[in-house]
């Protein structure tokens, strides 16, 4: 922790330089790193202070038992234990991008209007999860469904360990419920895929030649006021060599939308490179499946009973509304713990 505090102090000095904001993108990156470090240091200091309070309370209770103080001390000790577990868990998020921001892409799969409604439910779930964790989530692109829901949506999530946690959500999500769009009230199965990319700094590691880009501007399709709908502020960029297409329409400024689209493009290009390397090692079979039956990482059953099951960890939860409201930590941590243990076992074998 002393190392993090030292590094945060060094970044404070960098941020105090007169030319710090000459490169706004680099400045933002430094600011985010500094905030992440101070958040970790502050969390540790708060835990240490709470533990000292518990020790003082235990000394008082040893002299004279007090039911109210005992109850208060037990609650505070439980909170300290939870905080220590969270810090220990963060140690497992040691990947090169785990501490940074994430880009989440949601796409409706098999199931028509049902799947598009399901995609919108997932979008809401991740926005609520981000809110609970005090992370900054922004919907930068959204294509509405034909009748309801969304066909696809892209969200940027900024804050400590956003990618480290959200990478556990990548895969196909399956919903089973009585359809609100079926006049005969039949049970439907719908699918949507979630892709998660780490946000990549523009440090030259991902080279993008402007000649390889096709840029289109258009009027934003979603809500956003008269300015958004009457001017061509939305931007779509096609990377011709890879065929990757990204779009952004959340800002009123075409320039800002293009900058956001380039951020997403860099993240997708890096992920494509990673996938290619892993494909060569035959390690990407799970992501080659269709967005349909049999390929899901998690099932959300609302009828005839209520249960959510993660098929990777076998973790189950009966309170489906709690999960759909963004209480995803148990599923995320279960998967990340499983993969961490698998890596440790592989390294020791």
- Model pLDDT for residues 312-325, shown as the tens digit of each residue: 999 999 999 999 99
pLDDT band at 326 (very low <50, low <70, confident <90, very high): very high
Please name which of 224, 31, 23, 30 lies closest in space to residue 138, comparing C-alpha atoms.
224
- DSSP assignment of 81-118 equals HHHHHHHHHHHH--STTTTS-EEEEEEE-SSHHHHHHH
230-to-143, 144, 219, 233, 303 alpha-carbon distances in Å = 17, 18, 7, 9, 43
Domain 210-280 sits in CATH at: 3.30.160.20
CATH architecture, domain defined by 102-199+291-348:
2-Layer Sandwich (3.30)
Tell the residue number behind the tokens 């000394």, with chain if given.
59
pTM comes to 0.71
Q: Outline which parts of the chain fall under CATH 3.30.70.1660.
A: 102-199+291-348
Residue ranges of the chain assigned to CATH 1.20.58.410: 2-92
Give tens-digit pLDDT for 127-151.
Answer: 999 999 999 999 999 999 988 999 9
Class of domain 2-92: mainly alpha
Compare 328 and 182 and report the one with higher pLDDT: 328
Identify the DSSP state of 259: H
Locate CATH 3.30.160.20 in the chain: 210-280
Residue 82: C-alpha distances to residues 48, 75, 162, 256 (Å): 13, 11, 19, 40
pLDDT at 45: 85
* Whole-number pLDDT of residue 286: 45
Model pLDDT, residue 8: 76
What is residue 298's predicted lDDT score, i.e. its pLDDT? 96
172-206 pLDDT, tens per residue? 999 999 888 877 878 889 999 999 999 877 666 67
């Amino acid at each position: 922790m002393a190392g993090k505090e030292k590094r945060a102090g060094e970044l404070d000095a960098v941020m105090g330089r007169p030319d710090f904001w000459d490169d706004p993108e680099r400045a933002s990156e430094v600011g985010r790193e500094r905030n992440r470090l101070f958040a970790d240091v502050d969390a540790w200091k708060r835990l240490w202070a709470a533990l000292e309070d518990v020790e003082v309370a235990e000394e008082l209770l040893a002299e004279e038992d007090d039911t109210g103080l005992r109850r208060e001390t037990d609650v505070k000790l439980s909170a300290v234990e939870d905080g220590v577990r969270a810090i220990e868990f963060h140690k497992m998020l040691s990947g090169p991008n785990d501490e940074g921001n994430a880009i989440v892409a949601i796409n409706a799969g098999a199931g028509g209007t049902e799947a598009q409604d399901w995609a919108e439910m997932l979008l809401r779930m991740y926005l609520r999860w981000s809110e609970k964790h005090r992370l900054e989530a922004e919907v930068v692109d959204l294509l509405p469904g034909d009748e309801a829901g969304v066909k696809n949506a892209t969200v940027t999530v900024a804050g400590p360990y956003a990618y480290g946690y959200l990478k556990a959500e990548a895969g196909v999500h399956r919903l089973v419920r009585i359809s609100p769009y079926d006049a005969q009230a039949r049970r439907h199965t719908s699918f949507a895929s979630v892709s998660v990319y780490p946000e990549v700094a523009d440090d030259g590691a991902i080279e993008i030649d402007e000649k390889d880009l096709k840029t289109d501007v258009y009027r934003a399709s979603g809500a956003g006021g008269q300015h958004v709908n009457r001017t061509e502020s939305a931007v779509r960029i096609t990377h011709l060599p890879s065929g990757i297409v990204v779009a952004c329409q959340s800002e009123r400024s075409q320039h800002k939308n293009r900058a956001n689209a380039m951020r997403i493009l860099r993240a997708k290009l890096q992920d494509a490179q990673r996938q290619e390397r892993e494909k060569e090692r035959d390690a990407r079979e799970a992501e080659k499946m269709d967005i349909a039956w049999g390929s899901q990482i998690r099932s959300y059953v609302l009828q005839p009973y209520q249960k959510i099951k993660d098929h990777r960890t076998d973790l189950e939860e009966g309170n489906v509304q709690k999960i759909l409201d963004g209480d995803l930590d148990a599923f995320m941590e279960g998967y990340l713990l499983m993969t961490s243990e698998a890596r440790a076992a592989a390294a020791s074998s």
